[in-house]
């Protein structure tokens, strides 16, 4: 199990979500994106539809009849109805259910930094491969 911690530090969450989702789709993976609140999900839904002028990222909002077929599923809960092995936490609120996935992407900003630090500590000694990423010179760089 691997958890990638992404410190946003001014980078819009939507930009990071779209980049990670595209990378996973390109690799043939499925993704469950979790955020608390319908407003956050609606923003992410719009972002994925408007990903670029010529394309979109195929996805759906949880609760639809085709949840199991969605390569990317947006939800307020970490239940992978689309059989995703990857979870992206878009709201900075750690969820223990992330440990049920092969890989989790945990996005956090200044407002959720304390929660990210606590999650990092709580994962110590639990067999979790932790990675910390920060924006450096316009690119994501892994920090030791």
The CATH number covering residue 99 comes to 3.40.50.10110
Express each pLDDT in 61-89 by its tens digit.
999 889 999 999 999 999 889 999 999 99
pTM for this predicted structure: 0.94
User: Where in the sequence is the domain holding 31, given as residue range(s)?
Assistant: 2-142
Does residue 117 have a pLDDT over 70?
A: yes
Give yes or no for residue 139 having a pLDDT over 70. yes
One-letter-per-residue 3-state SS of 40-80: HHHHHHHHHHCCECCECCCCEECCCCCHHHCCEEEECCCCC
Average pLDDT over residues 32-58: 85
**Sole residue written with tokens 């010179």:** 137
State how far the Cα of 57 lies from the Cα of 46, in Å rounded to an integer: 10
Helix (H, G, I), strand (E, B) or coil at 95: coil
Question: How many independent structural domains does the chain possess?
Answer: 1
pLDDT number for residue 80? 82
pLDDT attached to residue 51: 66
Alpha-carbon separation of residue 126 from 9, 101, 107 (angstroms) = 27, 14, 20
């Amino acid at each position: 199990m691997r958890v990638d911690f992404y410190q946003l530090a001014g980078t819009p969450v939507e930009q990071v979500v779209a980049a990670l989702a595209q990378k996973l789709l390109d690799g043939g993976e499925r993704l469950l994106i979790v955020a608390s609140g319908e407003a956050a999900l609606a923003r992410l839904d719009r972002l994925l539809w408007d990903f670029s002028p010529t394309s979109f990222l195929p996805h759906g909002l949880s609760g639809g009849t085709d949840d199991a077929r969605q390569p990317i599923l947006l939800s307020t809960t970490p239940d992978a109805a689309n059989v995703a092995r990857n979870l992206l936490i878009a709201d900075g609120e750690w969820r223990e259910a992330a440990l049920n996935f092969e890989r989790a992407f945990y996005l956090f900003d200044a407002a959720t930094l304390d929660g990210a630090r606590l999650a990092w500590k709580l994962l110590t000694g639990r067999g979790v491969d932790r990675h910390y990423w920060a924006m450096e010179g316009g690119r994501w760089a892994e920090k030791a």
